[in-house]
Amino acid sequence: MAGYVQDDITPEELERQEALYGPFTDAVRDLVDATIRTLVDEEQVRRAQAEIEEITARLRKEQLDGPFGVRFGATRRGRPWGNTVVGLRNPAAPPLVIEHHPSGDGRVWSDFHLGAAYEGPPDLVHGGVAAMILDQMLGEAAGARGKPGMTARLTLSYRQGTPLGDLRSEAWVESIDGIKTIAKGHILGPDGVTVEAEGLFVMPKWARELMAHREDTPKYFE
């Protein structure tokens, strides 16, 4: 179990890790894209495979037992670096960098790019990827408002196909009722809103207990 880990790394160590793992993960992301699109001959593909297997074996010589979890340093918010949407160390994540309105009112937004790895219908973002991004965005809005929660219900309305490329997502808190928060949001393509979402987020008991025992509230249940 990875769980929520307090590793108390210093700001300097955080900076070192970001500078190391950010570009490394970007390189693997780029390889993922090239893997889908390459047209080189069979011999070249087999050679690349053998080299990649050898690199993987070296990286696995020392590794976490399981997934990354969320780790907390000495002074800053959690590091959800394995997260499939925002994870700095996850090559399968675009990754989204989500901005929070400084007022803390729950408004969040993100400008991001989705390439070949996120395809559903030809040239379009997979409808499920749009759902995945909006789940993260709406959950972030709830967290930004101080009401982090697990997704209880999520409804997506697809207005038009979302083209692969440069996109934007925005989300906000619609209403709060105790431990329940309703958030809304959308994805914007070159021709306006492509997908709209409404979600109900609920703070689970274990999270309320965890929050009661620590100063820096985990913002990433989802």
* Length, in residues, of the chain: 222
Closest separation between CB of residue 27 and a copy of itself, Å? 5
74 binds a copy of itself (CB under 8 A): no
Q: Say whether residue 14 binds a copy of itself (CB under 8 A).
A: no
Name which of residues 48 to 67 contact a copy of itself (CB under 8 A). 48-49, 51-53, 55-56, 58-64, 66-67
Contact 23, 88 (CB under 8 A): no
Nearer Cβ to a copy of itself (64/212) = 64
The smaller minimum CB distance to a copy of itself, of residues 38 and 175, is found at 38
Q: 135 near 126, Cβ under 8 Å?
A: no
Cβ neighbours around 155 below 10 Å, total: 12
Least distance CB 112 / a copy of itself (angstroms): 14
Please list, residue by residue across 123-150, b when 16 or more beta carbons sit within 10 angstroms of its beta carbon and e when fewer do.
ebbbbebbbebbbbbbbbbbbbbebbbe
Question: Which residues from 152-181 bind a copy of itself, rule CB under 8 A?
Answer: 152-158, 161, 164
Interface with a copy of itself: number of residues (CB under 8 A): 88
* 38 touches a copy of itself (CB under 8 A): yes
Interface region with a copy of itself, contact rule CB under 8 A, candidates 6-14, 25-33, 100-108, 183-191: 25-33
Q: Which position among 14, 18, 28, 188 is part of the footprint of a copy of itself (CB under 8 A)? A: 28
Residues 73, 82, 106, 143: which binds a copy of itself (CB under 8 A)?
A: 82
Distances (CA, A) of 64 to 1, 46, 59, 152: 10, 29, 11, 30
The token pair at 132 is 């995945």
Stated as kind and residue range, the H or E segment containing 153 is strand 150-158
- The first and second tokens of residue 165, run together, are 């490329």
